[in-house]
Structure formats: C-alpha cells, structure tokens
Structure 1
Amino acid sequence: MVWEDLMSLADEMFQAMMDSSPLSAAMFGLPGWDDQLEDLSVESEQAMRARIAGILSRVETSDEDPVTLAVIRQQGQAIIDRTDARLVEHTVAQGLAAPVNGLLMIATKVDVSQRLDKFPRYIRQAGQRLRESDRRPLQRHVEAGVERVQAFLDSPAQPWEGDHSGEIRAAVAEFRDVLASIEDGRGDEHAGLCWLPEGEENYRKLARNYTTTDRTPDELHRLGLDLIAGLREEYAEIGSRLWGTSDVPEIFRRLRTELLWDNEDQMVESAVEAIARAQAEAPNWFGRMPKSECQVRLVDEAGRSTAPIAFYMPAAQDGSRPGIYWLNPLGATERSRTLSEATAFHEAVPGHHYQVSIAADMDMHEMRRFAFIEAYLEGWGLYTERLADEMGLYSSDEQRLGMLGLDAMRASRLVVDTGIHAFGWSRQQAIDYLRENTVMAEPEIISEIDRYIEMPGQALAYMVGRLEILRIRAEAETKLGDRFDIRAFHDLVVGSGAVPLSTLDQIVTAWADAP
C-alpha cells in the first residue's frame, strides 16, 4: 500500500470516527462537527457499520507506516464490535455511557448551541431503541435512569438549553415515560452480558478491543486474582511502617474509617497541590511539555449523582478551554482521602493531561492524535500512579496506601468485570468482592459496579495496559542499560498517540534497537 492510499484511508477513518461520535469532536474542540449529533437509529448504525467495514476491506499490509495502519484497523473494528453489542439498548443509568444521561452531562461542559435542534431526535431515538429491543436493562438501572432524568426535568432551565428548552424537555419527559414503563428489566442476579442474546461472544470481542490483546476472560480473571494476592503483601509492608500492623483487614478498616475528608474544600486543595508538585518535577522525567494548562473544577450539583468520582476532559484544540480535572464531591466525607493524590496523578499530571495534550501537539495524522484506545489511554494513567512514586510525588505513606488502594481497585476490575459478564456473577457478588479486597467506600463500590455492568470490558483496559507498558519499559531498560533515558522513553510513549499495545511494543523495540 502506497503512502497516499494509506493517508486517504486514515482520512476516511477519522471522518467516520468523528461522524459516529460528534460529541467526541466537541470534547476535543475539533471544528467541523459543531452542528452534528449522533443518529441512534438502527438504520444509521448499520450504515456506519457498513461504511467502516468498507474502509477496513481496503486496508492492506504496508511498510510505509505500520503504526497508522494498526490504528486504522483497531479503531474500525472497535466501532463494529460495539455496534454489534447493541449497548445503547440496555445502557440507561451510568455516566457518559448512557446516551441520554451522557448527553445531559456533556451539555454542561462543552458548547452545544449549534446542535440543540438535534437533541429531541437523539433522545427520542434512545427511547425507541429501548422500546423495541430484546435486550433489557437492569431494572435498578431503569429506576436510577428515571430519577436522573426526573431531576433534570424538576430543575430550572439551564443556560445551555437556549431557545430549545421546551422541545428538549418534552423529549426528556417522553424518555422518562419509556423508562418508567419498563417492568421486565433484568434482576441483579443477571447483571452481565452473558445473560443477553449473543452476550458471551459480544463480551469476548469487547474484551479484545478494550485490552487490544487476545487474553481470554478466564486469563484476565486469573490475572486479577494473582495481582490482588500480591498487593496484600505491599499493604502489609506499608501498614507495618505507618501503623505498626501488617494485618491487612485492620489496615483496610483504618483506611475506610479513619482517613476521611472533613469537607469538599480539602478534596480540591489536595488535588491542586498534588498537580503543582507533579508539574514542578515533570521536566526531570519528560522532555516534552503540554502547551495547555490543567485546571481543577468541581462537577456541578445536578450531575453529581451519576458522574464518576473524578475524570479528565481534554483541552480544546483552539485554546478556548484548558484541560480540566473534574472532581465529584458527592459523599466526600465518606471517602478515604488517601486516594486523592494517586487519582490526580492518573487523571491530570503526568497522566491523561500529559498523554492527551502532548499527542495533540504532535505532527501526526489526526486519526492517531485523537484515537480512543482504552488500553493505551488508561494503561498510561495507571502507569503514572506508580511512576509518581518514582518521581517522589506522594506526600506520605498514607498516600502511598492510596496508590495501593487504586491498584487493588484496578486489579479487582479484572476479577469482577469478567465475573459479571463472562461467568454470570450477580451484582451483589461483585459488590462483595470489592468490599473484601479494596478500601473503597460504599458509595464508590456501588458506583463502580454499576459502571462495569453498563460498560462491559472497559474496566479491563487499565491494568492490562499498565502491565504492558511496564513490560515494554523493562525490556528497553535491559537492552539499553546505561543508555536508557527515561525522558526519551516517556516522550516516545506519549508522543506516539494512542496505539494498540502490540504496536507500542514495536515502536519502543525499534527505538531500543536503533544504533
């Protein structure tokens, strides 16, 4: 395949990626899709699937740019597999994954003024897909979805609604009625994809796409169990140093009950201070620096009941919006403050903010700069939580215990995500596993499990990605010895854009083998 043909295919794939998710373009601040909104109809979905399949059918082997070729293949197959899983028909409650809830969340954070006329169609299409599907959502998620949209309807009109408030709210009310009419939703004991038509096969495909590996659900499940066992030894080591006890249940008890936030302000102050330390130390570990700044903001009150505890939104490419680290203060006084610094390092600096912002500044095809490959993206975020310890960023052993706490959560995700979707675990079984093996507070446990149920496979990406980056780094260090430059390694990883893990391995191997 010649260079011109490959770039043409990359152009087509990027256009298709953004056409299939115009709100992603909005979050990146990319022009050209400002008046667009995804069409959720089955006909439109299948037309997009055929369009993607047509692009992939013209992909050939190329020595010109194998990285771009790999990203084209991965992004296209991911869209096809997620379309085939028909997640839109049973995802109604949690965060950005639920179409209507996600739309209402994003509308408060990006400029949606030019696409407001399309909101009613989108919302009604989401309701139609629910009505006509043979895949039922979890009944408790139906009830949570009703509460969420009712809260929106009960609230005063928000500025973003503009002159379309009446039509939008009428459509939301119709969607609420569709949800409220569902009385045959799945029970908690049938929480996973394996209980739905083609569910086991769909989950295998989603696991492959989210991890960019061929690891089976069984292999991923056993990996999580092994990691949890190893983390208990680290808990005991730090617990002995900090509190004079190596008893892991006692360490968990103290983390859950004694080290909580007093108020929301403390959460914000801790995040701001951690990010400032990271930015000051980063030049010793990175050669490239992002052009955009990273700000810390609180999730608005209306969105706190369904938003994750923390998340990152990339800076707009036109400079109109900085990178934003969003904190959700809901239930702050019930949460362990030890998770604060590790989460800030993961979501902001040197995690997603450096990763996304530096790649966006690179001279590479747009498809690579804005590809959404979870194993790379979240693997890097989790990698930076341990990197932060190497950088000397944690302020105390308490915060290092928080680092372990997040490690345990991500290792547990391998166990419970596969447990729910491949092995038929009940929702309660998954909750109990997190209670026993993590220090997460009860509100976080409930939120996490409900997220895994509605985003099958996504939770697998974090730990698989981190372990692969660590393996790739270790092999490069062995090859290069004293010539290994950690700054150059990090610049290479974040400067390559989002890529499948096998492709990242090839990129770093070529760098390490170069004379």
Structure 2
Amino acid sequence: MTSLSDEMFQALMDWNPVFATLVGVPGWDDRLDDLGTDAHQAMRARLVDVLDRVDDCGEDEVTRDVIRHQARFIITQIDARLVEHTVAAALTAPVANLLTLSSQVDFSRRRHLVPEFVRQAGRRLRETDRRPLRRHAVNGAAHIARFLDSPKQEWEGDVDVRTELARFRETLLSLDGREDEQAGLCWLPEGEENYAKLVRDYTTASYTPAELHRLGLDLVASLREEYAEIGSRVWGTTDVAEIFQRLRTDLLWANEDDMRTSAVAAMERAEAEAPRWFGRLPRARCEVRLVPEIDRETAPLAYYVDAAPDGSRPGVYWVNPLGATERSRTLSEVVAFHETVPGHHLQLSVAAETELPNLRKFAFIDAYLEGWGLYTERLADEMGLYSSDEARLGMLGLDAMRAGRLVVDTGLHALGWSRQQAVDYLRENTVMPDAEIQSEIDRYVEMPGQALAYMVGRLEILRLRAEAKAALGDRFDIRAFHDLVLENGAVPLSTLGKLVTAWSGRV
C-alpha cells in the first residue's frame, strides 16, 4: 500500500519532473510539467485530497508536517498563478528555466514535449488578467533570441523546438507589460492575499510582511558596526561609506579562471575541517563548474545542483563568471561555503544518503534549505575557513544582501515600492555592483517571498542552537547538533524547533 508521503512525493515530482531528473530520481525522464489551467486545477484537487487525509494517515509527526507544507506550497503557487507573469528569471520562468536546464539534464526522452510546453506558456500569458513587467518580457525575449541565434543544440534532436520558441518570443514582445512603478504582487489581482501566503510558505514562520520589513531594516543597521571593525583592519578606516566604495572598486577579479580556482580552494579547506564540526559527512563529491556562456545572462551568480542519489553524478557548484572583472573577489569564499561545504552540498547529500522517505529527502522548504546555507556562512568563520579579512568583508556583504532582501522583497510586494526604490535601497546599503543589484531585483519581482527565507531560517537555527546550548551546558556537542539538523531532511522551522527541543531533553 502506498504511503501518503509517497503520494505527496509523486505529486511533487509530477509538479516538477525536470527537477526529478536533475537530482537523479528515476521515473520522470520522459515528462515535462503541464502548464495548462486544467492540469493545475487537477493538481490542486489532488493536493486538497492529500491534506484531507494527512491527520489520519499513520505517518510520523515530522513527515505529516512536511506533507502539509509541500501540499500547501504547491497550492499557493497554483492560486497565485505565477506562471502567468513570470517570464525572465532562469530558475522560475517556465521557458527560461527549460532552456537553462536543457544543457544540464538529459532531454532526449522529453524533447518531443517541448513545443507544446512552450505553446502552453504562451497561452497562459495571452489569456490572463496578470501582466509581467515590460522589462522582464523584453529580457525573456532576448534570452530566447540568444538561443535562436546559437547553433542547434544536441538535445533538440530532430524535433523543431525553435519555431515555437520564436512564436513565444513574439508573444513576449507583444505583451502590454507593467511599468517599473508597479513591480510587486500588490499591484496584481489578489496580490496582497497571494503574497501573504507565499511569505507563510517560504518562511514557515508567523512573521507578517511589516514585521519582516522592520527586521531587515534593523539588521542592515547593525551590520554597519561590523563593517567598521573589519574595514579598520583592512584599510585603516571606520567610515562605512568609504569601505563600501572601496569594496565596489578594489579587490576585483582579474579573470574568469580565478573565480573557479578560488572556489575550489575554499571548498577543499572546508572539506578538510568538516569532521571537527559534523559527525555525518556525505559520500557524494562536489565539483565546481562555470555556467555555460549561453546561459550566463539569465542564470544566477552561483547555484548548486544535487548529486545523483545512485552516485552516477557528483554535486555541481555552478559559478557564473558574467562580468567577472567588475565583481568583488571578496565574495568568492562565502558563496563557496554556502553552496558546497558546509552548505548545500553537505546538507542535501547527507539527507539523500539517509533512509528517510523520498519526500523528506527532496522537499522544497526554503526556510530550512536556504536558512542552513546562510547559517553556514557565519559557521565557516567559526570553523576558521576564511583566508583573510577581505574574505570576511565578503561574508558581511552577503549578510547585508540577505538582510536587505527582507526590506526590498516586502517593500516591492506589500508596500508598493517601485523597482527603482528597491534598486536605490540596495545601492545605499550593500556593496553589490549595479549589474548584480539589477539581477537580484528582477529575481525578487518574479519569485515573491522566496528571498525572505534565507535570513528567517538562519535566525531560527541560531536561536535553536543557543537554546540547546543553554539547556545542555557542557553536554552540548556541536557535531551532534548539526547532525540532528541535517539528518531529518528539509522540515518547516516549527518542526525543527520541536526536534531540537526533544533532543535537548534526551541528551
């Protein structure tokens, strides 16, 4: 008899079958997600049925919590109809995401489905009362144009995918897109309600958008003291404005190859130190690769793709060298720690190598997943992994970005900020180069609420660690704490709290 967690896992992979292939789960290699309205409503009904049965399903409490979250999360995505106005971001816009992933996973058994997939995406854009940002429609069209101008890709085979892509590009260019002054969800039908649900699902916490906005403002202000302390050692100044300016103009990359070399060195230091901080370490290896040139304009600056569970493929840390010589090399180590070890590679590989149900290994719970990644950026400093104060300034730089995300995401989607207001805030309060600010803001617009998960998750992990240490005193073992957090897979933060409290009472 199929368990409810297995039913939910099936639904999760049906919702995103390319992800199944990406992480090495067999059974979905000949499928693409169905973007049609009828298919989405059928999935919604399927998940409502799961929720109706979860209380009496016989699964353990943690698994029930994960089932509830995953079902509600997909329902929220369907109800928000994000597919109808998400057209540019490579990790979320359906067509842009397909083009990006086509170079990373085997499309040979699903390429015949691509033309209809693209047609569906076009129909959803043409038939909706939602509109993307005009700039995003133009950027999405430019991404497709770059693909159409490139040589035929091996994955296309004998299927004509380019005719439909050309038509989709024309659809994008014909849309009456929103202006930058109306960038957030609050300007769209049911936007306020949809954003509140997205905030709930991404953070798995009870914060309101207003509370998160204030938290971000306070965190950004507190970081200025740390900038002054480290800046005084590096450049002999405590003037934060001067430190910001020097971080934007000094310590830049000389070339693309140096980015990869630095990332590999940081990861290798972390792997050597990890046994002192973790009892469970992954068997899977991790490689560092540069994002293919055709995808660099739309890909994130860095991201991680899971190792295959059967060991056939290592985890891959993808580094985007776009604009390398205009970007600060101080960020290299902190991003490597976040994405590889002790961050996502360690986190996801440990979970995948447990005997947990598949749902627990592969659940999308960003507050846990990205909260851990951000937690490990500071943990790396405790572990003595940063090679210099310059690298620690990079750590502060990403802290400021994640704190700024709380301000900007809520500003855009709840408070009605214009895109330019969001850009100006990050320019004033972070050291991000302008190209990165523009890319980040576009990501927040098209992934409402996701950017909140990082800082909310890290603060909760830190709070739980402090509580456990206070309860256990000399019996507190950091290796055991980390193993507890990782060996249960992705869980809502409230569930993690129950696990840590129970563990503290047992030790």
**TM category, shorter:** over 0.9
2:195 corresponds to 1:203: yes
Is 1:441 aligned with 2:433?
yes
Q: Which runs of 5 or more structure 1 residues have no equivalent in the other structure?
A: none
Where does residue 70 of structure 1 map in the other structure? 65
Distance 1:401 1:158, change over 3 A: same
- The corresponding residue for 1:372 is 364
State yes or no: 1:175 paired with 2:168.
yes
Deviation at residue 318 of structure 1 after TM alignment: 2.2
Aligned 1:85-234 pairs, distance under 5 A: 85-164=80-159, 167-182=160-175, 184-234=176-226
Q: Which residue pairs with 2:310 in the alignment?
A: 318
Alpha-carbon distance, 1:316 to partner: 1.2
Q: Please tell me whether residue 46 in structure 1 is matched to residue 38 in structure 2.
A: no
Aligned-partner Cα distance in 1 for 2:486–2:279: 11
Equivalent residue, structure 1, for 2:245: 253
| Match among 317, 335, 353 for residue 343 of structure 1 | 335
1:292-311 pair list within 5 angstroms:
292-311=284-303
SS of 1:295's equivalent? strand
Residue type of the partner of 1:192?
G
Change (3 A) 1:26 1:64: closer
Aligned-partner Cα distance in 2 for 1:271–1:241? 24
| CA–CA distance in structure 2, aligned partners of residues 172 and 53 of structure 1 | 34
TM-score (norm 1): 0.97
SS in 2 for 1:60: helix
1:64 deviates by: 6.0
Give the Cα–Cα distance (whole angstroms) in 1 for the partners of residues 479 and 157 of structure 2.
47
Question: Aligned equivalents of 1:195 and 1:281: distance in 2?
Answer: 48
In the other structure, the counterpart of 1:264 is: 256
Q: In the aligned structure 2, how far is the partner of 1:130 from the partner of 1:318?
A: 39
How big is each residue's C-alpha offset from its partner over 1:360-417, in whole Å with a ceiling of 9 and x where there is no partner?
0001111101101000000000000000000000000000000000000000000000
Amino acid at match of 2:93: A
- Counterparts of 2:204 and 2:194, CA distance in 1: 15
Deviation at 1:59, TM superposition (A): 1.4
1:411 matched to 2:395? The reply is no
CA RMSD of aligned residues (A): 1.0
In structure 2, the partner of 1:59 is 54
Equivalent of residue 10 in structure 1, options 5, 10, 25? 5
Given candidates 14, 21, 25, the residue that maps to 1:19 is 14
1:431 is matched with 423
Matched residue type, 2:162: R
Q: 1:501 corresponds to which letter in structure 2?
A: L
For 1:213, give the aligned amino acid. Answer: A
C-alpha displacement of 1:100: 0.2
How far 1:241 moved relative to its partner? Answer: 1.9
Q: Supply the distance in 2 between the matched residues of 1:129 and 1:327 (Cα, whole angstroms).
A: 32
8 Å contact from structure 2 (residues 344, 369) kept in 1: yes
Give the Å deviation of 1:174: 1.2
Structure 1 residue 259: Cα displacement: 1.1
The runs of at least 4 consecutive aligned structure 1 residues that moved more than 3 Å come to 61-64
| CA distance in 2: counterparts of 1:76 and 1:331, whole angstroms | 39
Q: Could you tell which deviates more after superposition, 173-182 or 123-132?
A: 173-182
DSSP 3-state at the match of 1:127? helix
Q: Cα deviations across residues 453-489 of structure 1 (Å, max 9, x unaligned)?
A: 0000000000000000000000001111111111111
Between the aligned residues of both structures, percent identity stands at 68
| Alpha-carbon distance in structure 1 between the residues aligned to 2:206 and 2:475 | 33
AA aligned to 1:175 is: F
TM-score by length of 2: 0.99
Q: Deviations over 1:337-363 (max 9, x none)?
A: 101100000011110000000000001
2:157 aligned counterpart, secondary structure: helix
| Matches of 1:369 and 1:358, distance apart in 2 | 9
Alignment of 1:496-511 (within 5 A): 496-511=488-503
Q: 1:61 Cα deviation (Å)? A: 6.1
Indicate if the aligned counterparts of 2:330 and 2:393 stay in contact, CA closer than 8 A: yes
> Match for residue 488 of structure 1?
480
> 1: CA distance between counterparts of 2:33 and 2:24?
17
1:435-460 Cα offsets, whole Å, 9 max, x none, are 00001011110000000000000000
Q: Does the CA-based 8 Å contact 2:4-2:57 persist in structure 1?
A: no
SS at match of 1:58: helix
For structure 2, list consecutive stretches of 5 or more residues without a partner in the other structure: none
